[in-house]
Structure 1
């Protein structure tokens, strides 16, 4: 019964969110009419437009550490109320989120019962929706960046004709995003976060971004929403990857 009730709650929330157009247009995850395909299309369109205008496009692929597990309950309560979830319904949602109990069982032996005071339940129907509302205002921290978000994956882009200026501006704006994450008690994983420069200019050009005094790894190709992308948008590596998978399946 609890799963059915949770699904009903999810549907009612989604109806409300859709009716009042609450979700940011930068979010493509868990949304009707949005998908990895539309996110990829928006991503490549922005880059193509920049390159067509003889600009260089810098991007930062951000990775969050255990995003669902570190959501602050007081912050999400404030955000839910801001988006119009109030009264009895808000109390129900917070009871669903707060003070969840767990124990570990190994070979019939059970640990003490502990209380979880942060995060939203993974594997639940409501968990992803609550997370999307939690990060919904992220794009407000920058007026000039292009955001592509799919659940907890966030990619930011910026276009400029001068690479040195691109580096300076992208560093400043990316640090605003990191400050927003910190204020919302989300943790960026710098070991998996990396940058990429898209340019038509010749030579081995690099952005060499430094965020929060950390030198960011720069890649010439990366996996983005299941597709291998290179900094020239040739798709060669992805085509080779798919061809290899097909050849193995029919061998």
Structure 2
């Protein structure tokens, strides 16, 4: 878990995935990764799940009561042309933009890694979850990833959360042509992709980085053209 933690960043998760795949490739083993997106994560996490996690990590007493007071009896209303709507109370979600919100959300997912089998590796950055594994055969990989996807969906459900299958992707790290793995979540299939943007980095199945280099080249070219426009001798900024 790297999101919003001291001395941790998104690149740590990317390095963990890439290093694992390269190591397993040197052992002639197949690898695949499942990229999952949590739907409305910060708006839907249950307060009960956060408070339960606080107890698990041993934060009680004054700290527990303070966070309980911070989350309890939260209400909202909407201002319309006809005036404010009826005030409603909510038992889920953390305040958008709150300093504590990322940490409280991380607490709700703190037990997910231990919940999964040891054959599954996982990285978590806020609401972006990636799980990966390796095996000798494709059926083994499919079975492990399908089991992991089901377990994660069940775990998140207890936290008041769910996965957005349409935003998920499955990448098999191989240079060979192959029939896509069939993985589903809540009865909906996960799309098979040759590349996927993971925490700002475009991961391709060959790990050649060509798609990401092309993307960065396009962005940098646009920026350089802007500088040329601004730095003209007879026009632009002075």
TM-score (norm 1): 0.84
Q: Report the CA distance between 1:106 and its aligned residue.
A: 4.7
- Correspondence 1:198-209 to 2 at 5 A: 198-200=173-175, 202-209=176-183
Gapped regions of structure 2 (runs ≥ 5): 226-238
Distance (Å, rounded) in 1 between the aligned partners of 2:158 and 2:32: 25
Q: Report the CA distance between 1:105 and its aligned residue.
A: 2.9
Pick from 67, 70, 73: which aligns with 2:44? 70
1:227 aligns with 2:227: no
Distance (Å, rounded) in 1 between the aligned partners of 2:184 and 2:61: 45
1:10 match: none
Deviations 1:169-201 (Å, cap 9, x if unpaired)?
22123212222112222111111112111124x
Q: Retained in 2: the 8 A contact 1:69–1:119?
A: yes
2:27 match: 53
1:89 aligns with 2:63: yes
Distance (Å, rounded) in 2 between the aligned partners of 1:84 and 1:38: 27
- Correspondence 1:16-35 to 2 at 5 A: 27-35=1-9
Q: Retained in 1: the 8 A contact 2:169–2:196?
A: no
Q: Report the CA distance between 1:216 and its aligned residue.
A: 1.5
Q: Retained in 2: the 8 A contact 1:58–1:207?
A: no
Computed over aligned residues only, the root mean square deviation of the Cα atoms, in angstroms, reads: 1.7
2:134 match: 159
Q: Report the CA distance between 1:60 and its aligned residue.
A: 0.7
2:233 match: none
Distance (Å, rounded) in 2 between the aligned partners of 1:93 and 1:61: 31
Q: Report the CA distance between 1:107 and its aligned residue.
A: 6.4
* Structure with larger Rg: 2
Aligned to 1:132, the other structure's residue is in SS state helix
1:123 aligns with 2:97: yes
Gapped regions of structure 1 (runs ≥ 5): 1-26
1:101 match: 75
Pick from 14, 20, 29: which aligns with 1:40? 14
Closer, same or farther: CA 108–182 of 1 in aligned 2, 3 Å: closer
Aligned residue pairs total: 224
Q: Retained in 1: the 8 A contact 2:35–2:130?
A: yes
Deviations 1:138-195 (Å, cap 9, x if unpaired)?
0122122100111111000010111122112221232122221122221111111121
Deviations 1:200-231 (Å, cap 9, x if unpaired)?
4x223421223343221111111100011111
Structure 1: 4+ residue segments shifted above 6 A? none
1:178 aligns with 2:153: yes
